């Protein structure tokens, strides 16, 4: 196409030059007749003489044009960058590289909650795709896993509350801005070995917003520290809790934008109720797994998302939550609900938690995870479905005598196996417990605060 452009352009230029030359020829010829004796110029002979001279000039110009065109064409095809540049200038072709994008169900942001985001691939991670429920079943599903395996059991690890407090930031900076100052190598290895990591984000990522009035504790973290979440390999967070709106809807929308840009999925909050309630569906080793986040702890009624107002998926009335579970049930192999509920510092779930947990299971959930009490609460099976009432604090800054990761293994038959990985935390540093006696004491403690379960010396939980 470049070759044709130069030919056409040169022909037009030649045409214009030819016209100008002929006009000049006529003027020159008429003037010459006044200066040259009559006998030396006969009409036809003079015109033939001039035409012959200009003909040679045209031939010379044509040769030069052809040589120039050959040089340009050779340069274009020998230099691909020049070729692209010429194509772009002539035809306006945009040469930007297309990004491989993933479709997703997102819980909403300042205007692009359904935007697709790209994700880096590596030898340890396969591609990820989350799509709108309406497009469920698409052949374009991709896989997400930190392992190279494409089939077999799926392992998801869950953590409780994470807040990047001053204590945590001090530990992080003391380690040279390295996540090893916040999370032990033992826990990092457990997370890396799993296919997916989910936690409760107990704060907004923002530098904006108005602080909530008459609230004892308000949290906010600079968006640049989302890099710490990336370093921890967090794949998805629930935002449905009593701190996401500590600095208002501006901070909430900043949080959603920050997570989106970091490639971290989120549930439980959005720019309206429909947004806040939408699940995220991921495909891991061929299994479609849906996540929903909701809260039954909010300080003000207007923290709940409305039909046209930002906020959280609140479950004081469970109608919206139950409807979301039922809607996604047939679109996923496994449905997981992460709840924010209960009373702080209480080791046992209250009746409100139990009633809501059972309703969630009756609606079709395969696993219920809880947080908010800031301490661990017990486990229960209801209709063969496991319920972890509270995973407590995981990374928070204050002293945490007992914490844990919960590893959930999904078998080929979609059966779930639960295993606790105990730890402790203090001064912003959370470490895995390796001492055998400490682990035995931890497992005994969990058995005492749970209902109808067994737990072995490896932390594997089963129904009695």
Domain CATH number, residue 210:
3.60.21.10
Residue 132 predicted with pLDDT over 90: no
Rounded to the nearest 10 degrees, the angle between the axes of helix 80-91 and helix 2-35 is 70
* Residue % of the chain over a pLDDT of 70: 69
Residue 97 predicted with pLDDT over 50: no
- Rounded to whole angstroms, the Cα distance separating 254 from 258 reads 6
Least confident of 65-69, 78-82, 311-315: 78-82
Q: Which of 362, 286, 269, 287 is nearest to 318 (CA)?
A: 362
User: 352 or 90: which carries more pLDDT confidence?
Assistant: 352
pLDDT-derived band at 332 (thresholds 50, 70, 90) equals very high
Structural domain including 32 reads: 2-91
Picking from 91, 122, 148, the residue at the C-terminal end of a domain is 91
Evaluate whether residue 355 is within a structural domain.
yes
Q: How much is the average pLDDT of 65-79?
A: 61
Coil, strand or helix at 391: strand
Check whether residue 307 and residue 249 sit in a common domain: yes
Residue 4 predicted with pLDDT over 80: no
Evaluate whether residue 326 is within a structural domain.
yes
Check whether residue 161 and residue 85 sit in a common domain: no
- Rounded to whole angstroms, the Cα distance separating 185 from 116 reads 33
Q: How much is the average pLDDT of 108-122?
A: 34
Q: What is the pLDDT of residue 61?
A: 77
- Rounded to whole angstroms, the Cα distance separating 5 from 215 reads 70
User: 425 or 397: which carries more pLDDT confidence?
Assistant: 425
Q: What is the pLDDT of residue 362?
A: 98
- Rounded to whole angstroms, the Cα distance separating 229 from 191 reads 12
Averaged confidence pLDDT in the chain:
80
Write out pLDDT tens, residues 249-284: 999 999 999 999 999 999 999 999 999 999 999 999
Evaluate whether residue 102 is within a structural domain.
no
Maximum mean pLDDT: which of 88-97, 105-114, 293-302: 293-302
Picking from 59, 91, 123, the residue at the C-terminal end of a domain is 91
Q: How much is the average pLDDT of 213-240?
A: 97
Q: β-strand 385-388 against 379-382: which pairing, if any?
A: antiparallel
Residue 21 predicted with pLDDT over 90: no
Evaluate whether residue 362 is within a structural domain.
yes
Helices (H), 222-297: 226-231, 248-262, 273-277
Evaluate whether residue 161 is within a structural domain.
yes
Check whether residue 8 and residue 155 sit in a common domain: no
Check whether residue 152 and residue 8 sit in a common domain: no
Evaluate whether residue 103 is within a structural domain.
no
Check whether residue 85 and residue 156 sit in a common domain: no
Check whether residue 73 and residue 164 sit in a common domain: no
Evaluate whether residue 158 is within a structural domain.
yes
65 forms beta bridges with: none
Q: How many domains does the chain have?
A: 2
Q: What is the pLDDT of residue 146?
A: 61
* Residue % of the chain over a pLDDT of 90: 67
Give all strands (DSSP E) within 153-307, no chain letters.
154-162, 196-201, 236-238, 265-267, 269-270, 280-284, 287-295
pLDDT-derived band at 56 (thresholds 50, 70, 90) equals low
> Over the range 375-410, which residues count as b (16 or more CB within 10 Å of their CB) and which as e?
bbbbbbbbeebbbbbbbbbbbbbeebebbbbbbbbb
Q: What is the pLDDT of residue 63?
A: 72
């Amino acid at each position: 196409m470049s070759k044709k452009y130069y030919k056409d352009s040169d022909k037009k230029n030649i045409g214009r030059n030819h016209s100008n030359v002929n006009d000049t020829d006529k003027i020159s010829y008429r003037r010459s007749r006044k200066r040259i004796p009559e006998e030396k110029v006969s009409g036809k002979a003079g015109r033939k003489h001039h035409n012959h001279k200009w003909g040679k000039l045209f031939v010379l110009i044509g040769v030069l044009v052809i040589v120039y065109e050959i040089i340009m064409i050779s340069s274009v095809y020998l230099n691909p960058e020049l070729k692209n540049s010429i194509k772009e200038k002539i035809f306006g072709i945009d040469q930007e590289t297309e990004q491989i994008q993933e479709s997703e169900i997102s819980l909403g942001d300042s205007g692009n909650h359904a935007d697709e985001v790209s994700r880096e691939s590596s030898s340890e991670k396969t591609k990820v795709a989350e799509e709108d429920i309406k497009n469920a079943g698409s052949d374009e599903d991709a896989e997400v896993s930190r392992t190279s395996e494409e089939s077999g059991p799926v392992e998801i690890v869950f953590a409780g509350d994470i807040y990047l407090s001053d204590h945590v930031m001090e530990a992080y900076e003391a380690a040279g801005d390295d996540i090893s100052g916040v999370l032990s190598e033992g826990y990092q290895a457990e997370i890396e070995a799993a296919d997916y990591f989910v936690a409760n984000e107990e704060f907004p990522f923002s530098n904006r917003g108005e602080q909530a009035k008459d609230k004892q504790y308000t949290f906010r973290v600079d968006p640049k520290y989302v890099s710490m979440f990336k370093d921890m390999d967090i794949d998805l967070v629930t935002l449905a809790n009593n701190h996401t709106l500590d600095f208002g809807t501006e901070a909430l929308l900043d949080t959603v934008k920050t997570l989106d840009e970091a490639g971290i999925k989120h549930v439980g909050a959005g720019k309206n109720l429909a947004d806040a309630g939408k699940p995220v569906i991921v495909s891991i080793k061929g299994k479609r797994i849906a996540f929903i986040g909701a809260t039954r702890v909010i300080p003000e009624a207007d923290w709940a998302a409305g039909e046209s107002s930002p906020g959280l998926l609140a479950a004081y009335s469970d109608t919206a939550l139950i409807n979301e579970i039922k809607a996604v049930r047939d679109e996923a192999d496994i449905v997981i609900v992460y709840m924010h509920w209960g009373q702080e510092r209480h080791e046992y779930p209250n009746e409100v938690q139990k009633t809501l947990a059972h309703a969630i299971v009756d609606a079709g959930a395969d696993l219920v995870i809880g947080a908010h009490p800031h301490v661990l609460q017990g486990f229960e099976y209801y209709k063969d479905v496991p319920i972890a009432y509270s995973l407590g604090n995981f990374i928070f800054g204050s002293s945490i005598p007992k914490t844990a990761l919960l590893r959930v293994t999904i078998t080929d038959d979609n059966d779930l196996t639960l295993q606790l990985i105990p730890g402790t935390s203090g001064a912003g540093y959370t470490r895995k417990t390796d001492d055998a006696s400490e682990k035995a004491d931890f497992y005994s403690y969990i058995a005492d605060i749970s209902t109808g379960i067994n737990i072995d010396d490896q932390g594997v939980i089963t129904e009695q």
